Amino acid sequence: MSASTEQIPVATFIDDIDKYMVKEGSAEAALEKLQAFYSACKAIEQRMSQRKKRLQAKVPDIESTYNALLQMQQRAEQGESLTVHYELAQCVYAKAIVPVHRENKVCLWLGANVMLEYGREEAIELLERNLAEAKKTLQELHEDQALLRDQITTTEVNMARVFNWDVKERRKAKAAEASEAQ
């Protein structure tokens, strides 16, 4: 169970609508309570979706950096330099020959204007961990979103049941009024 799973509120299906409505008092109060719960679930769903999109954008960057480091490592083991073409500016590329067999240091851009120098093996291990953690978190988010969708669906069904109960009760009251008037 992930940490965010513990933050997902649990919606209880209303089995006995009459009993539930006696406890709640009025349809308006019950609907208001269910609507507040529904809104909270939708807000959580939105935050999860944004987090998932950010992670999905990061994974390809981590993978490409990881693959580049593996290629550097392979060339270093062969005792060769690495020839790369990289984007200098938009639509402007440059060619560089990197003596990876002479130098074992790489710089990783960590974000927030922070770049750190690592040994190549250490950088590869760091990226392996980061990639595994990002993929694990994506999987957990996917599972959490499925659980949250179940809670939202249950709440929507509960809201419909309360609304239908209210319509049924109003019709009964109207029919009772009509029979009394006769």
- pLDDT for res 37: 96
Q: What percent of the chain has pLDDT above 90? A: 74
d(CA 52, CA 32): 30
d(CA 17, CA 19): 5
Alpha helices for 79-119 (secondary structure H)? none
Give the residue carrying structure tokens 């990226």: 127
Does the predicted TM-score (pTM) go above 0.85? no
Tens digits of residue pLDDT in 142-167: 999 999 999 999 999 999 999 999 99
